[in-house]
Each structure stands twice: as structure tokens, then as C-alpha cells.
Amino acid sequence: MGRKFSIIGAGNLGTRLIHALLNCPASSGGSSSGGGRYELKHLYKKSKFGYYTASVVDDIELLVREADIIFICTQESKIREAAEEAAASSNPAGKIFFHTSNCLTSDQLLSLKLKGAYTASFSPLQTFTGVGPGEDMELNPFNGIYFLAEGDKEALQAAREIAGDLGAAVLIVDKDKKIDYHIAAVCASNFLIAVLKLAERQLHKAGEPTPGIEIMFPLIRQTLENVASRGVAESLTGPFKRKEMAIIDKHLGRLEGDEAVLYKALTEFLGKD
Ligand SMILES: NC(=O)c1ccc[n+]([C@@H]2O[C@H](COP(=O)([O-])OP(=O)(O)OC[C@H]3O[C@@H](n4cnc5c(N)ncnc54)[C@H](OP(=O)(O)O)[C@@H]3O)[C@@H](O)[C@H]2O)c1
């Protein structure tokens, strides 16, 4: 028999998680099938992208009762409320509950823990965008990534097994330090987008012909490869590295407002240990 799982919050991440678990060797989908490594039981109330709609139910008691593992993949602001609803309407004792927020801790699931559930935060260090109509869903976007996890030991053991099945690794983190990992993830992903937005604006300012950001892709890729092989500190090149401050002043002379402020702050940050 496969591990029976249910999802509360089948959005960007929840949908991809279902797909990846069902694609683990010998898994099976749908609430009536069995015999695979993972068996999808139910989704709660909705499926944001219309996948697995046959498994959508309005009955949270049924969703919990029929699953061994319940993933709460709602937005951060709705995790506690979803956990409280499940705790109030079902018997979660002995079940494993995860939420997938990189920011929040297992404390969000306290209402379930108090009723005997094993709880943990189990969140992927990866970014997942929507699955549009006709867009291919990658079989397993979790392969090779890290999950952060903290919580009850029974839930952490299940987290290790699930991550292993997905080809991912688990980093067990201190609950009080989890926010620091999240800041690092925001810097590595969201702020990278902010910096690329600045680059894109400069390309537009350069006028005709206006190339797209893709002309920077080889530069971006090589920078990341350098970071992978040499580390962050040893990968810097450019005017700041060469101490060509006249060039930096010239750049600042061409920038205005927020763009100048950001350029200056980032340049000064490069000089910090
Ligand atoms: N996306 C990523 O790259 C990523 C990466 C790492 C971790 N995470 C974490 O994963 C979680 C989900 O992120 P996401 O990007 O997948 O969000 P999302 O696309 O907005 O999906 C969340 C889904 O949950 C539904 N929902 C909310 N409350 C519900 C409830 N009580 N019952 C049933 N469904 C409910 C939402 O419906 P409504 O829109 O109608 O509210 C929405 O469809 C977040 O905690 C996030 O921090 C996301």
C-alpha cells in the first residue's frame, strides 16, 4: 500500500507536489487507487489550476481520516486557520501534518499537535510558478533541491523519506533560525529578480535596438557557474573589483532616483566583509 496523502491548498506548490509524488516510482493517483508509493486521497475545496479535480472534496474530516500525511500548502496567512479547521473538525491523532512555508515554523500547526498529530514545517528551497493551460508540468521539480524542516521527530522522519523519494535533501533547522534561511532565500531569488529588473530597465533606456534581458543570460549563467566553482567572494569581476571608481561615478551620473540609490547601496555592499 502506498502512503496516502491529502493536500489543503492545491496552488503553485501544492499542484507540483502532488504531481511529483504521484510520479515517484510505483505511485498511483486518484482516491480509489492503491498499491503505489504515494496515493493521492483528497484536495480540499479547490484545485487552483484544475488538476486532480476528481479528488476535490468539501469534507475536511474525510480528507484527514483517509490520509496518513496531510500537506497544508496554502498561503502563509492561511496556514494557521486551515490547521485550526482541520483540528476542530477531524481526529488528527497519529497523522502527519506538514506546512510548506519557508518563513513560518511548525508553531502554525499547534492546534493539530495538541490533538495528537505529528507536525513539522517542510518547505522547499525552490521557486514554483503557476501551471498555465497547455504548459507542461515538469515531472519532478524537487529533484536535487533542499527542503528546510523542523518539528516533531516522527514528522521529520517522514520528511526525510519523502524528500529522498523526490531526489531531494533535507536540512533540519533550528526553529528560531528558520527566518534567517528565508531571508537568504529571498535574497537569492526575489532580489536577483530586483537586480535583473534594474538591468532590464537600463537596456530599455539604451534605446533602439532594445534587446531583451536574454542577451544577459550567458553572463548570468557564467556568474552562477563561477559562484558554484569558486564561491561568492571569489566570483566578483567588474569595475568595483578593479577599483575603477571613476567608472562607478560615471554610472551613478547616468542613474536617477531609486536606481541610483540601489546601485550605490549594492556597490557599497560589495566592499563589505
Ligand atoms: N510558490 C513557491 O515558489 C513556493 C516556494 C516555497 C514555499 N512556498 C510556500 O508554499 C505555500 C503555497 O505557496 P503557493 O505559491 O503555492 O501559493 P498559491 O499558488 O497561492 O496556492 C495556495 C492555494 O491555497 C488555497 N487555499 C487557501 N486557503 C485554503 C483553505 N483553507 N482550504 C483550501 N485551499 C486553500 C488558495 O486559494 P485562494 O487563492 O482562493 O485563497 C490557493 O489556491 C506558501 O506557504 C508558500 O510560502 C511556495
Per-residue pLDDT of the chain (273 residues; tens, 9 = 90+): 689 999 999 999 999 999 999 998 755 444 434 446 999 999 999 999 999 999 999 999 999 999 999 999 999 999 999 999 999 999 999 999 999 999 999 999 999 999 999 999 999 999 998 787 777 788 889 999 999 999 999 999 999 999 999 999 999 999 999 999 999 999 999 999 999 999 999 999 988 887 899 999 999 999 999 999 999 999 999 999 999 999 999 999 999 999 999 999 999 999 998
Longest dimension (CA), the chain: 69
User: Contacts for 217-221 with beta carbons within 8 Å, 24 or more apart?
Assistant: 220/196
Instruction: Report which ligand 1 atom has the smallest distance to the Cα of 128.
Output: 3
Give distance in angstroms: CA of 192 to centre of ligand 1: 22
Q: Ligand 1: which of 7, 8, 13 to mutate, most ligand atoms within 8 Å of CB?
A: 13
Does residue 44 line the site of ligand 1, with CB under 6 A?
A: yes
pTM exceeds cut of 0.85: yes
Sign of the CA dihedral with 15 first, then 18, 24, and 25 last: negative
Q: How many angstroms separate the CA atoms of 240 and 193, rounded?
A: 21
> What is the 8-class DSSP label of residue 93?
T
Q: How many angstroms separate the CA atoms of 225 and 3, rounded?
A: 38
Q: Ligand 1: which of 55, 73, 137 to mutate, most ligand atoms within 8 Å of CB?
A: 73
Quick check: 104 and 76 in contact, CB under 8 A? yes
Kind of pairing between the strands at 3-8 and 69-72: parallel
Structural domains in the chain, sorted by start: 3-173 (3.40.50.720), 181-270 (1.10.1040.20)
